[in-house]
Amino acid sequence: MADDHALVRAGIRNALEGMPDLEIVGEVGDGASLEPALAEWQPDCLLIDVTMPAFEPINAIRRIRGRYPRLRILVVSAYDDDVYVQGLLGAGVNGYHLKDQPMSDLRLAVMRVLAGERWISSSLVDKLLHARQVTAVPSLSMRQQDILRLLAEGLDNRAIAQRLNLSVKTVENHLTRLYRQLDVQSRLEAATHVRDHPELLAQTPPESEAMFIDPAPSEQPVILVVDDNGRYRNQLRRIIGKIFPQTMIYEAGNTAEAIHLAAHMTPQIAFVDVVLGDEDGIRCTRRLRIESPVTRIVLISAYPDREFHRLGLEAGATAFVDKKDLDAATLQQIIADAIG
């Protein structure tokens, strides 16, 4: 196993150790250690997250494939970009599995790859079959995302201003700049553009922009979603927005952004992934608890390991939820309890 997150490796190990006729011979946490380990252990299968430090995925996979032609390579990654996946498949990997899928699917993926078959997570198949060129997405500030989201929901300028505690003139100025950035001429065109390009509302603003974020009105519930996977943040945000349309939902992709937002927004509840890029979501939980003691923190993970659960509760989380169980009904109960 090759993954730079010890917690992820532990979760995968726990999921795979019970499989018959399978032995995990070793683990590495960076690209520099990988090829010496392959030479030493000579495994039948390499299970790898290709975003490790000191690892250039395409060239390294091609080199490994050339040296070990019989080695089965299964990528386990949080990234679902079709161009990225196609590049790795072209370089010689035998399978590509998304980290947000159930552990039972990961076990099946390992079995299939070891049996000589190719494995691709089901949610990726349609993307790969219908891959198309995507135009560049303009970078929007968090305030612009909030305004654009409310516009897409059908609110007029006055209602948007009231919701965000802004003046109508400020909203109008934001919309003028947004229309220019999106190359649209009207509210209807802007709303249509958002529906066609949901990734616009899944961006994380640069740290330098954080000082200009306006506090949310005190009467509006505030929810913070902390996850390094923009696709998953957007999915969670959509579900929460449908259940509680009056909430203000903010996103962070790492600990620094989460702490800054917590200091300015004081969220009633924060959903924090156990793994944040190359960071540890449990440490993020500890820091959030210090910065905002009133915030209820729910740790979420695609790897519901008991040790994660124990460490998370010790760090100050109020709950630990498997991502596959985080559906609309569960979210409604968790959020309703937090905001009364």
> Is residue 263 domain-resident?
yes
331 and 234 within one domain: yes
Q: What is the CATH number of the domain that holds 191?
A: 1.10.10.10
Residues 158 and 122 in one domain: no
286: which 2 tokens? 């500890």
Shared domain check, 336 and 268: yes
Does the residue 1 lie in any domain? no
Same domain, 143 and 231: no
Domain limit, last residue, from 180, 203, 226: 203
- Whether 286 is in a domain gets the answer yes
Identify which of 26-35, 84-93, 191-200 has the greatest average pLDDT.
26-35
209 found inside a domain: no
Rg of the chain taking only CA atoms, in angstroms: 22
Give the torsion sign (CA, 20, 25, 28, 34).
Answer: negative
With a cut of 90, say whether residue 302 has pLDDT above it. no
* In-domain check, residue 208: no
Which range of residues forms the domain containing residue 113?
6-129
Count of structural domains, the chain: 3
State which of 79, 110, 129 marks the end of a domain: 129
Q: Say whether both 166 and 98 belong to one domain.
A: no
CATH number at residue 228: 3.40.50.2300
- Tell me which residue has tokens 């390992």: 110
Give DSSP secondary structure letters for 259-314.
Answer: HHHHHHH--SEEEEESEETTEEHHHHHHHHHHH-TT-EEEEEESS--HHHHHHHHH
**Across the chain, what does the average pLDDT equal?**
83
Cβ neighbours of residue 37 closer than 8 Å, sequence gap 6 or more: 2, 26, 28
* pLDDT bucket at 250, cuts 50 / 70 / 90: confident
Q: Nearest-CA neighbor of 67 among 98, 89, 36?
A: 36
Shared domain check, 233 and 283: yes
Structure-model confidence comparison of residues 246 and 292, the more confident one: 292
Mean pLDDT of 252-275: 87
Assess whether 261 and 340 both reside in one domain: yes
In this structure, the answer to whether residues 253 and 327 fall within a common structural domain is yes
Do 245 and 185 fall into the same domain?
no
Q: Which of 71, 106, 129 is the last residue of a domain?
A: 129
Residue 193 domain flag: yes
Residue 102 has a pLDDT of: 84
**pLDDT at position 325:** 84
Residues 6+ apart with CB under 8 A from 285: 272, 297, 299, 312, 315, 316, 317
Do both 64 and 112 map to the same domain? yes
Residue 40 has what pLDDT? 95
Report the Cα 55 to chain-centroid distance in Å.
Answer: 21
Higher pLDDT, 123 or 119: 119
Does the residue 154 lie in any domain?
yes
Same domain, 111 and 45: yes
- Residue-wise pLDDT for 11-50, tens only, equals 899 989 889 889 999 999 999 999 999 999 999 999 999 8
The reported pLDDT for the residue numbered 218 is 41
| Whether residue 239 sits in one domain with residue 199 | no
pLDDT at 262 over 50: yes
> Which of the pair, 188 or 269, is modelled with greater confidence?
269
Q: Kindly report, residue by residue over 210-247, the tens digit of the pLDDT.
A: 333 344 444 467 899 999 888 888 888 888 888 887 78
Residue 306 lies in a domain: yes
pTM reported for the whole predicted model: 0.44
